[in-house]
Chains A and B, each alone.
Chain A
Amino acid sequence: EDKVVQSPLSLVVHEGDTVTLNCSYEVTNFRSLLWYKQEKKAPTFLFMLTSSGIEKKSGRLSSILDKKELFSILNITATQTGDSAIYLCAVNDNYGQNFVFGPGTRLSVLP
């Protein structure tokens, strides 16, 4: 059975700090790993990673995948209060049949 584990489950930081969120997975026929940000409503897409070692970057957010060690990290630099959210990691198998989600990391950024 496909499985996604995220750590930490909860994190409290102050504005300006840098945070690293972790996602490890077990999936047969891995195809992609996705990161989503969930505030009070629908999860919004951040990144899709398919290849090891290639960093994806968007502003202060970046992510990288290690297919050998079966994990990904999401980095957020110079955090702002608007980064407070739940960050979800999901994996998709090679058949594209399902997206399995982890429990999420709840990030709170204090002013």
Chain B
Amino acid sequence: EAGVAQSPRYKIIEKRQSVAFWCNPISGHATLYWYQQILGQGPKLLIQFQNNGVVDDSQLPKDRFSAERLKGVDSTLKIQPAKLEDSAVYLCASSLGTGANTGELFFGEGSRLTVL
């Protein structure tokens, strides 16, 4: 079974530039998450999708971050314009079920962003 795919693995940009990350979850997984993990900290949820609808985006900085999952499968996360404090690993995860049947999270290998 193929895992969660993410790209690019690494990205270096200058502040005020834009960047986009892509995620393809495990086939059949209804729920998709984007987490931000800053060095030395645990992952922090940015946005959660269930199929193609947003369940929780309360911690997404909407003035600069956007995400979509148009067909309920793969997803993109965009940052525009980037700030120095956005330097982090962006982890995509998926889970099979929804609601109380969510099960565990399966993570991709992450996209490491460095903002100079």
Contact = CB atoms under 8 A, between A and B. Distances in A.
Contact of A34 (B48, B55, B56, B104): B104
A42 B112 CA distance: 11
Interface in A65-90: 88, 90
Interface of B: 4, 33, 35, 40-45, 48, 55-56, 91, 97-110
Given A4-B42, A101-B42, A101-B44, A96 B108 contact: no
Nearest to A88: B42
Given A42-B110, A97-B48, A48 B104 contact: yes
Given A42-B108, A103-B41, 11 more contacts: A42-B91, A44-B107, A45-B104, A92-B102, A96-B100, A97-B48, A98-B48, A99-B45, A99-B105, A103-B42, A104-B42
Contacts of B100: 31, 94-96
A8 interface: no
B109 A42 contact: yes
Contacts of A98: 45, 48, 56
A101 B43 contact: yes
Nearest to A6: B42
